[in-house]
Amino acid sequence: MVAMNMIGCLSLSSAQQLNLAFQRLDRDKGLSQGTCPFVSRDSKGFVWVATVDGLNRFDGKNVKVYRPDPSVPHSLVGNILTSACYEDVQTGDLWFTTYNAVHRYVRDYDHFDTFQLKDPARKMLVEDYYAFHLDQRGRLWLRVGEGDNGFLHLFDTRTGRDSIVCPLGGYRSVIIPDENGEVAQVLSSVFSTPGMEIVDLKNGFAKQTYFQEGPEASTVKEAFVENDTLVWLGLSGGIAAFNPQTGMSKVYTEMNGLPADDVWSVCPYGQHLLFVATQKKGLWLFDRRARRFTQQLVHEPNNPHSLLDNEAKNLFIDREENLWVAHWRYGLSYVNLRKNKFFIPPAAKGNTFWQFMNGPDENIWCSVSQRGFFVFSPDGQLLDTVSNYFPELRRRINFTDPMYFPKGDGWGIFRNLLFEWERGQHRLKMIGQLPQKIVEICVTPGGKTVAATAQGLSRLARDGDKGYTLAPFDLDVPFQAKQHLGHLLR
């Protein structure tokens, strides 16, 4: 097994340079329109692409387009989609808004139910619907009304009842939870004017504005809430880390002297990375720990696996770890981040690894036949090396067969040899032998640790200070050591 495959299981490190091979979804492949402000993925695996000319359902190969059709009952009301699709966990139906109404996609019938709400004067609202959250109680949070004249509505998707909460301006809104996960504030922004507004739902709907005046005045194109004390903002010319509890922020505007562009969307990934969509400079990567931009991904005319276009407007990472990049007018670029995690830490280059495993110290152990083990942290940093010379044997062991730490408690097995991990001295100590060579080890659904030997199956049992012993196993099936144990125990 080569080093690249070994490191593939480690967490994606923000310090590495990513080489993402994008795929593309555009009008030539069936999209109804190239401007895609929202992307969602449901529990069935369908990707729903909201455009300014209908809703698109992508199954990985084909696109089905839904448009308004007055001659067809239960079709869309309005062709401009203004929200992502939010899935009801009880029914599997999807809730979203067009510019003209609230919609429910009824999965069982493959059609839409539509709802139009009323303003405080009981006048029917026929435009400017923007949904932004579906809570666990089945309430769809949305702002309805033009510009600064809108109101926050809570539409109960279970009963059809609508409640008007308070005035709310802006076109893009997000909820900010408190430390208990309850919605405490709503942040809203208008793309065309500087600033954003935060409404405190637990303090008499008090409003506070930010980025509206002074040297930090900026339009706020996007807000991604990481927790109750950290919101990432997309600004004119950069991003900001904003604390809604204190109102303090830190703005980041360049990468190695290159000025950032207007930012339309931000999306965290893992513990370190923040993807940043810019208006004209492609996709930027930001290290959330080091607090700096680290990489720029752009459209390359002769590379079909680069970004479709440098104008990136919206980002979404789905439950399968696909990154979706929406471009204005041209469609989507997408890539599976899980399949692009392969990188080679500097310490691993030039070595051939036979095995990787979770070690007794909760790090990643990688066996090198002539040298012992390299110990890597989950983010790929070399922490230690473990020698393959054992004074007890007066020789080195080439670890070209699997090494096992069955219980994760410091006791290890290699072939028929028993080892103990001495944490304080950072070394393996050979403490004894088993009567038979272990070919493979697995754990049954019932929790028993089973060892395969040339003579058959045995149960691996703890034996006090001696480590392990082999005990009879009550599965009377002929077994050859060359067979894979996993197939037998499925």
Q: What backbone torsions phi and psi does residue 464 show, to the nearest 5 degrees?
A: 55, -135
Nearest to 41 by CA among 268, 334, 339, 341: 334
Taking the chain (490 residues) in runs of 10, the rounded mean pLDDT of each run is: 35 59 94 94 96 96 96 95 96 97 97 96 93 96 86 97 94 90 92 90 94 92 93 96 95 94 95 94 95 95 93 94 93 88 55 75 80 76 84 86 78 86 84 85 74 83 74 57 42
Q: How does strand 322-327 pair with strand 331-336?
A: antiparallel
* Tokens found for residue 69: 């059709």
* Tokens found for residue 403: 């090494």
* Tokens found for residue 448: 């028993």
C-alpha to C-alpha distances, 484 to 355, 451, 457, 479, nearest whole angstrom: 16, 11, 12, 9
Q: Helix, strand or coil for residue 199?
A: strand
Nearest to 65 by CA among 81, 49, 78: 49
Strands of the 417-422 sheet, one edge to the other? 403-404, 411-414, 417-422, 427-433
Domain boundaries, the chain: 19-339, 346-488
pTM for the model stands at 0.69
Partners of 41 in beta bridges:
47
Extract the runs of DSSP E, i.e. beta strands, from 214-304. Answer: 220-227, 230-235, 238-242, 249-252, 254-255, 258-259, 263-269, 273-278, 283-287, 292-297
CATH ID of 19-339, from 2.130.10.10, 1.20.210.10, 2.60.40.1260, 3.90.420.10: 2.130.10.10
Residue partners of 113: CB distance under 8 A and separation at least 6: 74, 103, 104, 106
